[in-house]
Amino acid sequence: MNAHLNQCLQDRARLGAIPAAEVMALALYHPEHGYYRQPNGPWGFEGKDYYTALDCGPLLGETLALRLEKAWETMGQPRNFTVLEPGAGRGWLGRDLLASAQGGFADALRYLHRDDNPAARQAAETALAPWLESGQAGFIRESDPMEPFIGAVISNELFDALPAQPWRWNGEVWEREMLGPEDPFWEPAEPGTPGVWFAAQTEGDLEPGDGSVWVEGLPQLVRELSGCLEQGLFMAIDYGDSASRLLAKGADLRRYKGHAVDGTWWEGLGTCDLTADVDFTRLTALLLQEGLPDATLRSLGRWIREYAPLGAWESQWQELESPQRLQRMENLLALTLPGMMGDRFKVLEAWKT
Ligand SMILES: C[S@@+](CC[C@H](N)C(=O)[O-])C[C@H]1O[C@@H](n2cnc3c(N)ncnc32)[C@H](O)[C@@H]1O
C-alpha cells in the first residue's frame, strides 16, 4: 500500500472502523496519493491494470458518432452540438468520435473532456491535439460550472469508478462492509436510504447473503451532469445490471491489478483499481427525477448492432491488409460477443427535451 495512504487510514482509524466506500474514495481520489491522481494512467494491456472498450479499437467511437448524428438529426440539426464526457480518461472516445463524425454533424460537433485525473489530462492532450488546435475540443475541470448546452453527455466506465458501499442482508439485519485495524468485516448497521431502496427492489423477499453496493454520491453527480443539458441525450456506457439482479448476486467491490481481478479491495490501496457494478435501475430512477424520463437500457452488443452498419463496415474491412482486417474483427468481437463485453456492458440512454 502507498505509505501516505496508509498513514491517512491509520489517522482515520483512530475514530473507529472505516466504511469500505470511504476507503475506496481515499484509495482512488486522495488528491495526491489516489490511484486516479497519479501521473501515469492504468489503462491498456501490457504493464497496465485493465483495459476498456477503447483499447480494443475505434468501433465504440465510430458507433457513437453515428448514434449522436442520429440524435442531432432528431433534434432538428442544431448549429452547435456539444458533447461533454465526464470521466473521459485519455480522451480516446472523444478522439474516435471526432475522427469519424461527418458532414453537417461534424461541423456542429464540439467535444469537452472532463476528468481531473492528471494522467487522463496528459494523454488526452496528445489524443485530441488536432481538435484542441482547431478549437473543436476543449478541457473543463470537474469543479468548473457549465452553462447548459444542446447536445449530449456521454460516459464510458465513469459510474463504476464512484466510491461504493457494499451492503448485505444476513437474514435478520443489514450489514455494511468495514475496514478494521487489520481485516475487513461486516458490521450490523442501520441502512437508511439504501435499505429502503434495496427492500423496494426485492419486494421484501431477500435471502441471507443478498446484497448490493450503494453509491452515496450518485444523486449529486446525476443532478450535476443532467443539469448541463438544456436539450439532448444522456448516455452511460458501463458494466452493471438491474437493482434486483445485483441484489440477488450479492454485488461487491472488485479490485484490478495487472489484469487480475479479485475481491480483496482493502489490499494495495492506491496502487490498484477499485470498481463496482452500476445499478442501472437506480441511475434510471435518478434521471427520471432530474426530468429525463423513458430511459432505455440495451446490452452493448445490441446497441452496436442497432447503430453500426456492420454489413457495410465488414465489406470495407475486407479491403484492408490482413493485420488491420483482423484488428477490426477482433474489435467487433470484443464489444459484441456475450462472453466478452457484449452482454456485461450496457448502454443507458435518456433524453432531456
Ligand atoms: C474507469 S476510468 C474510465 C476512463 C475512460 N472513460 C476509459 O474508458 O478509458 C474512470 C475515470 O473517471 C474519472 N472520474 C471519476 N469521478 C469523476 C467525476 N465526478 N467527474 C469526472 N471524472 C471522474 C476518474 O478520474 C477516471 O479517470
pTM (2 decimals)? 0.97
Residue 233 within a domain? no
Residue 161 within a domain:
no
Among 158, 273, 275, which residue has the most ligand 1 atoms within 8 Å of its CB, making it the best to mutate?
158
Nearest-CA residue for ligand 1 atom 11 is: 87
Tell me what pLDDT residue 181 has: 84
Out of 115, 121, 143, 300, mutate this one to test ligand 1's pocket (max ligand atoms within 8 Å of CB): namely: 115
Pairing of strands 109-114, 137-140: parallel
Radius of gyration of the chain (CA): 21
What pLDDT, on a 0 to 100 scale, did the predictor assign at position 215? 98
**101 touches 171 (CB < 8 A):** no
The total number of structural domains in the chain stands at 1
Cβ pair 219, 286 in contact under 8 A: yes
Domain of 334 in residue numbering reads as 301-346
Q: Using CA atoms, how far apart are residues 243 and 144, in angstroms rounded to an integer?
A: 32
Dist. CA 134 → ligand 1 center (Å): 25
Q: Is 335 a member of any domain?
A: yes
Distance of CA 85 from the midpoint of ligand 1 (Å):
9
**Residue from 65, 54, 93, 55 nearest 313 by CA:** 65
pLDDT at 118: 97
Do residues 254 and 265 lie in contact, with contact meaning Cβ atoms separated by under 8 Å? yes
Assigned domain for 341 exists: yes
Tell me, yes or no, whether 225 lies in a domain.
Answer: no
The tens-digit pLDDT sequence of the chain (353 residues) is: 678 898 998 899 889 999 999 999 999 999 999 999 999 999 999 989 999 999 999 999 999 999 999 999 999 999 999 999 999 999 999 999 999 999 999 999 999 999 999 999 999 999 999 999 999 999 999 999 999 999 999 999 999 999 999 999 999 999 999 999 878 999 999 999 999 999 899 877 889 999 999 999 999 999 999 999 999 999 999 999 999 999 999 989 999 999 999 999 999 999 999 999 999 999 999 999 999 998 999 999 999 999 999 999 999 999 999 999 999 999 999 999 999 999 999 999 999 99
* CA 6 / ligand 1 centre spacing (Å): 24
Q: Give the pLDDT confidence score for residue 203 in this predicted structure.
A: 77
Nearest ligand 1 atom to alpha carbon 117 = 25
Atom of ligand 1 nearest to the CA of 120: 27
Burial of 64 (0-12, 13-18, 19+ CB in 10 A): buried
The answer to whether residue 189 sits within a structural domain is no
Within a domain: 316: yes
Please indicate, yes or no, if residue 307 is contained in any of the structural domains. yes
How many angstroms is it from 88 CA to the middle of ligand 1? 6
Nearest ligand 1 atom, CA 55: 9
pLDDT of residue 204: 72
The closest residue, in CA terms, to atom 15 on ligand 1 is: 87
Residues whose beta carbon lies within 6 Å of some atom of ligand 1: 36, 43, 52, 54, 86-89, 114-115, 117, 120, 142, 156-158, 161, 221
